[in-house]
Amino acid sequence: MDQQIQTLLQLAIENKASDLHLLAGMVPTLRVNGELVPTPGWSVLTPDQTKTMILSLLSPKDQQTLIKERVLDFSCALGKHRFRVNAYFSRGSLAAAFRVIPSTIPRIDDLGLPQILHQFVNLKQGFVLVTGPTGHGKSTTVAAILSEINRTRRTHIVSIEDPIEYLIEPDQSIISQREIGGDTLSWQRALRAVLREDPDVVFVGEMRDLETISSALTVAETGHLVFSTLHTNSAAETIDRIIDVFPEGAKQQIRLQLANVLSAVISQRLIPTVDGSRVPAVEILLSTHAVKTAIREAKTHMIDNIIQTSLELGMISLERSLANWVRQGKVNLSVAQSFALRPDELNRQLRQLDPSANGKPT
């Protein structure tokens, strides 16, 4: 590993950054609490610098793949710290985005997530989706749930990732973590093979296309507990995204499949707090009879209303979650409104929690 990249990765760790960006013609940049900041003490990088730093992390074979494909996902380590890396070309020069993976897997309660997530640990079968924008903690949430399963149940957990992010050390469970490219040639091959590997719990790192989504649904349908992630903004949008991937003639069958296997959708954002950190605002959809019916009958427009009227069952809307953080004084109202999908609903939730609230930004 090149000395310069070692120094930059160490700076990312010391500054508690979530990401490090290397681009020719720019100062190395960190993302700290959601904000991009130039790395102190560094000048603008040259194309030769970015090339040397990035290639020093790769084997000759992976270097050839990057040059040929013009993009490469991989992981690297610095001591006990790991990084998920996407190397790519920008204006003809090598560039890379490094995601910092914490050295220890945080627990559900440490992340400030809803208590109902502990219930997902005890599921024996089903389909649990964790969704949200890039960089808003989806992988960390899944890792926290899998880690609790590992600590409390005797299961075989199989993960298929590109690349592997959190390393899960076996405790009560046995762990098989498979990385695309190194341990298996493709998502499709890995998912076809997983049923022969005697899994109890399967984590599909990301559902990117029709084949991956179809295979993940089949694994869940055969009586396994499946976790996966999607880049969607809400629970209702998640259902629509899955169904819309399929051809028109297959959509009704997929609605039936999804309604039968879905256990929950966790849709989350990391929200800046008044003290400069971030907390999760989380929408929770549970697969009740009403939800299953809405999916089967292509009435996903009803899901938001189902969530809002099912608080006693453990469901929560994004706006209710945001309102809770505002009410606790952790998040400014103006910030919460910028993240709300329905700002008027956020104001209504605040009035329910505190009738004296005047709806003005704090």
Looking at 54, 74, 101, which one is the last position of a domain?
101
295 and 351 inside one domain: no
Beta strands in the chain (DSSP E): 19-22, 29-32, 35-38, 71-78, 81-90, 93-101, 126-131, 156-161, 174-179, 201-204, 225-230, 262-272, 278-286
Rounded to 5°, the CA angle 217-222-228 comes to 35
285 and 305 inside one domain: yes
Helix (H) and strand (E) counts in the chain: 14, 13
Please name which of 115, 137, 117 lies closest in space to residue 263, comparing C-alpha atoms.
Answer: 117
Please name which of 160, 158, 195 lies closest in space to residue 174, comparing C-alpha atoms.
Answer: 158
213 and 349 inside one domain: no
261 and 228 inside one domain: yes
The number of C-alpha atoms within 13 Å of 258 and in the hemisphere containing its C-beta is 30
Report phi then psi at 200, rounded to 5. Answer: -105, -40
Instruction: Give the CATH number of the domain where residue 88 resides.
Output: 3.30.450.90
Tens-digit pLDDT string for the chain (362 aa):
899 999 999 999 999 999 999 999 999 999 998 899 999 899 999 999 999 999 999 999 999 999 999 999 999 999 889 999 999 999 999 999 999 998 889 999 999 999 999 999 999 999 999 999 988 999 999 999 999 999 999 999 999 998 899 999 999 999 999 998 889 989 889 999 999 999 999 999 989 899 999 999 999 999 999 999 999 999 999 999 999 999 999 999 999 999 999 999 999 999 999 998 999 999 999 999 999 999 999 999 999 999 999 999 999 999 999 999 999 999 999 999 999 999 999 999 998 877 555 444 43
161 and 244 inside one domain: yes
Q: Are 134 and 270 in contact (CB under 8 A)?
A: no
294 and 176 inside one domain: yes
Instruction: Give the CATH number of the domain where residue 248 resides.
Output: 3.40.50.300
195 and 230 inside one domain: yes
Rounded to 5°, the CA angle 56-62-66 comes to 95
pTM here is 0.88
Rounded to 5°, the CA angle 75-79-81 comes to 55
**Total structural domains within the chain:** 3
306 and 164 inside one domain: yes
Q: What domain range is 48 assigned to?
A: 3-101
